[in-house]
Amino acid sequence: MVGVVIVSHSQKVAEGIREMALQMARPGQKIIAAGGMENGNIGTDVTRVSEAIIAANTGDGVAVMVDLGSAVMTTETVLELLSEEFRETVKIADAPILEGAISAVVEASLGSSLAIVVRTAEGARNLKKC
Amino acid sequence: MKVTTYEAMTAIGQAIINNKQFLTELDAAIGDGDHGINMARGFEAVGAKLQSLGADKDIGTILKTVGMTLISSVGGASGPLYGTAFLRAASQVLGKYELDQENAGMMLAAAILGIKERGKAMRGEKTMLDALEPAYESFMAAAKAEKSLLECLELACEAARQGVEFTKTIIATKGRASYLGERSIGHQDPGATSSYIILQTLLEYSRT
């Protein structure tokens, strides 16, 4: 199954989204929160994101959900520092972080490929709320 | 002009730490108010890392250490941005112990390209590029006119200072400040300001 990593500036946001997404997940599905800095401060942490991506990859790849600006830059920096082979198996979804994460987790739970999981996550931006 | 990279980086780190409050205030006006705090944390980590690395390393090795440390310790957008800039600059001077107009220009160019790629930004968007690109252009024009390295750096700093002033007149379209739209006008960009502080400190250090 494709793993899902949630990168937010806030540890609480990342963990909260993970909790919501877990309701839709299969047992054992990899959904990993990488929020905030080591000391609980707001920010994004290269080491945390890197460890989360590695832990989320069970061989089928990882879809990374991001919140604002530097979450994207931090994740892209992490990808640059990973081996080329590993980098190929990780994709950042250009999606709203909460809706995207839930969509990605549902799609991944069906055993879909990384490309399809990312596409579904990105489709979440079109969900109508009212 | 004699510059020890280790000492120059230590001076830059100290200048950033001294301006922690100022940079944070600038960022609080139009962003998330963490630029000074993040940069100071990054350069405190850089200081510790450089001490354990030793002062006798080549310019490339020192700048690479600075870049990696900023990436892993800053926590805001400036971490990947400045980190990438220092890593790219380092790649131009691996094994080198002396700077001249040519390799200094190449370092600046590589750093700017790194920032553009990482931030998907260009000049005129109220970012550090509005200080760094004019600085680079002035540096290269001075180098072409066969000015000394110190003179090149002086002209680059002046261009960066004017670039910071220019950021007061434009709307932010990148980063957190872009949420403010027109309300970002009138404020100088914190990233452009920290870029100017770095160049200015390098200049002041080089004059000693």
Q: What is the pLDDT of residues B137-146, one digit of tens each?
A: 999 999 999 9
Does A89 lie at the interface with B, CB-CB under 8 angstroms? Answer: no
Mean pLDDT score of chain B, rounded to an integer? Answer: 95
Residue recorded with tokens 């354990």? B52
The verdict on a CB contact (< 8 Å) between B75 and A37 is yes
Residue A37 identity = M
CATH number, position A122: 3.40.50.510
| pLDDT tens per residue, range B75-131 | 889 999 999 999 999 999 999 999 999 999 999 999 999 999 999 999 999 999 999
As a whole number of angstroms, the distance between CA B71 and CA B87 comes to: 10
- Who's near B55: CB < 8 A, 6+ residues apart? B4, B6, B7
**Nearest Cα residue to A117 out of A28, A41, A21, A35:** A21
DSSP state of A6: E
Residues B99 and B133 sit within 8 Å (Cβ to Cβ): no
Chain B contact for A50, CB < 8 A?
A: no
pLDDT at A45: 93
For chain B, give the secondary structure using H, E and C: CCCCHHHHHHHHHHHHHHCHHHHHHHHHHHCCCCHHHHHHHHHHHHHHHHHHHCCCCCHHHHHHHHHHHHHHHCCCCHHHHHHHHHHHHHHCCCCCCCCCHHHHHHHHHHHHHHHHHHHCCCCCCCCCHHHHHHHHHHHHHHHHCCCCHHHHHHHHHHHHHHHHHHHCCCCCCCCHHHHHHHHHCCCCCHHHHHHHHHHHHHHHHHHC
pLDDT higher than 80, residue B2:
no
pLDDT at residue B66, as a whole number: 97
Range of the domain at A108: 3-126
- Of the candidates B66, B27, B61, the one whose C-alpha atom is nearest the C-alpha of residue B44 is B66
Average pLDDT over residues A11-33: 97
The 8-class DSSP code of residue A125 comes to G
What is the token pair recorded at B100? Answer: 């001249």
Q: Which residues of B touch A43 (CB under 8 A)?
A: 34, 38, 74-76
What is the phi/psi pair of residue A110, to 5°? -85, -5
Q: Is A53 a catalytic residue?
A: no
Q: How many domains does chain A have?
A: 1
What domains does chain B contain, in order, with CATH numbers? 5-207 (1.25.40.340)
Contact B80, A74 (CB under 8 A): yes
Provide the pLDDT for residue A69: 85
The pLDDT tens digits of the residues spanning A46-69 come to: 999 999 999 999 999 999 999 998
How far, CA to CA in Å, does A74 sit from each of B4, B140, B178?
30, 31, 19
Residue A11 and residue A33 in contact, taking contact as beta carbons nearer than 8 Å? yes
Tell me what ipTM this predicted complex has.
Answer: 0.80
Cα radius of gyration rounded to whole Å, chain A: 13
pLDDT score recorded for residue B3: 60
pLDDT confidence tier of residue A105, bands split at 50, 70 and 90: very high
Helix (H, G, I), strand (E, B) or coil at A105: helix
- Residue B55: the pLDDT is 84
Tell me which chain A residue has its CA closest to the CA of residue B116.
A73
Mutation to test the A interface, candidates B27, B30, B34, B116, most A Cβ within 10 Å: B34
| Cα–Cα distance, B155 to B160 (Å, whole number) | 9
Where is A86: in which H helix or E strand? helix A84-87
Distance from CA of A94 to the nearest CA of B (A): 14
Provide the whole-model pTM. Answer: 0.90
